[in-house]
Amino acid sequence: MTITETEEHRPAEGDAAGPTPIKITVRRSRTDVAYRRIAWTAAASTFVILVLIGVFLYIRARPAFEYMGYWGFLKTQVWNVSGVHPSFGVGSALLGTLILAMISLVVAVPVSIACALFINEYAPRKILGFFPAKGLLTSMVDLMAAIPSVIYGLWGFFVLQNSMKGLSRWLSDYFGFIPGFKVNTPVYTSSLLIAGTLVGIMIMPIITALCREVFSLTPLGEREGAVALGASRARVIRDVVFPFSKGGMIGAIMLGLGRALGEAIAVSIIISLTFGPPNHLLQPGGNSIPALIADRFGSGGKLGAAGLLAAGLVLFFITLIVNLVAANIVRRQEKKRA
């Protein structure tokens, strides 16, 4: 930005008027103008691409909506796209997706926040007197976020399932009076609980990395002021770090929720698709929209493809709503802090 000043014009003697004020002309530099245009174009392109994706999904999914109806597609809990009278919908998959997402958040959020606090607040400076602890732990968290979903799925299938059998049996024995926890068969694998726990482990690195970054942005002056007043480290975290980082923490959790809602490969490896009301968490079987799309892709002909695209459109709108709600919450927190 360039600021140009004009010379002050002083009137002749005897003129009653005072001196003419200095005029300041603001002119943006070419680099600034180019940067603003590029940023505006990138933002507008993101919005246009988002709209085009939604329009494409709706156009390709329209035959499924015309056949089943919008409400019928949402509430139907079977998926039969062949035969004389096809009947299909995402009622079962939609409920299963929401249950998996909630389980994953219950598993991931407390552990992620605790890990972020340890890395940022409690980690020692050096490990074994040589390795920088904070940098090493941060790199490990970032590396875990880069592991492919299929690797998590295989680890969950061969390792996590066997490790959670005892927990599932204990929940069934002592909490069987709660709907969804009573197991009618002695098999405790391939359940929604195991799949949700696996997805929670998958989103832990994302939430941890973002929360750690937000915690590190807490103003140093506020930290030192609280310590000077006699606050302990735990009190500083509760009264300074958490209030300052509340908006960023919500954004990190919602970003992890978006990842949980769209996870397909790991879930499809753990559970075998079943249709109907998801009224159990510990028995084999379950459903979710991403797993349904991954499992039934390429089958069912044109009507089946339209149905899967319709399911993708439903998931698209759910994710969009989650992101809008998260953005609104973060914006309100920023206004309160200001």
Q: How many CB atoms lie within 10 A of CB 73?
A: 22
Answer with the residue of higher pLDDT: 2 or 187. Answer: 187
> What's CA 36's distance to the chain center, in Å?
29
Distance CA 116, CA 138 (A): 9
Nearest one of 198, 192, 212 to 149, comparing CA atoms: 198
Q: How confident is the model at residue 27 (pLDDT cuts 50, 70, 90)?
A: confident
Helix (H, G, I), strand (E, B) or coil at 68: helix
Q: What is the pLDDT of residue 13?
A: 56
Residue 7: what pLDDT? 47
For the chain, give every domain's residue range.
2-68, 91-337
Q: Which structure tokens are listed for 20?
A: 């003419």
Query: Does the pTM exceed 0.75?
Result: yes
Q: Would you say 207 and 257 are in contact if contact means Cβ atoms under 8 Å apart?
A: no
User: Which DSSP symbol is given to 229?
Assistant: T
Give the E-state strand segments of the chain in sequence order. 2-5, 24-27, 79-80, 87-88, 126-127, 131-132
pLDDT reading at 178 higher than 60 = yes
pLDDT at residue 38, as a whole number:
94
91-337: CATH class? mainly alpha
Token couple for 213: 């970054």
Whether 23 shows a pLDDT value over 70: the answer reads no
Tens digits of residue pLDDT in 201-231: 999 999 999 999 999 988 888 888 998 888 8
The 10s digit of each residue's pLDDT in 299-322 is 778 899 999 999 999 999 999 998
pLDDT band at 64 (very low <50, low <70, confident <90, very high): very high
List of residues 6+ apart from 111 with CB closer than 8 A = 204
